[in-house]
Amino acid sequence: MSLYELTYCSIASNNLKQKDILKILAKSKEHNKKNNITGCLLYHNHEFLQIIEGEEDHILKVFEKIQQDKRHDQIILLEQGKKTNRLFENWNMTYYDLNSKEHEDVNKQLFIDNLINFSQLSLKNSNGVNLFWRLARQLLLT
């Protein structure tokens, strides 16, 4: 079995609501768990940034579906390739919405700090992971 990773960004469709995102997330978690796919999805200022890792066939198949999904467009494939170890071991799809009013400023700051620490830990990782964290930082700081 070969481990594969893929990173892309996209723009949410105009009429996308919070409840649509929750639906995407629920489906993703269920499907990813079944297929042993792990990763992280960020949503900020109508932009998605996602990294997925798992068996090559599964990753390519789910990305086909994701590309056809009408809930976002302008999908840009940023990086894909083989890797040796999982970074998101226990996360079938972790998600953070920084637009959400539920998060107080202090939570947001804590999240950003954690994310930056985490991204520094992963410096030894693949190009795709490094790119994901670099773009995540940019996205969060805009």
Binding residues vs ligand FMN (CB under 6 A): 24, 27-28, 31-32, 41, 48, 50, 52, 62, 65-66, 69, 71-72, 93
Query: SS3 of 81, please?
Result: strand
| Lookup result for tokens 């637009």 | 99
Nearest-approach distance from CB 124 to ligand FMN, in angstroms: 25
Nearest-approach distance from CB 23 to ligand FMN, in angstroms: 9
The two tokens of residue 113 are: 């700090």
Closest to ligand FMN by CB, 93 vs 133, is 93
Nearest-approach distance from CB 117 to ligand FMN, in angstroms: 24
Sheet holding 3-12, edge to edge: 72-82, 3-12, 47-55, 38-44, 94-97
The two tokens of residue 16 are: 């996308």
Closest to ligand FMN by CB, 76 vs 123, is 76
Bridge partners of 50, per DSSP, are: 8, 41
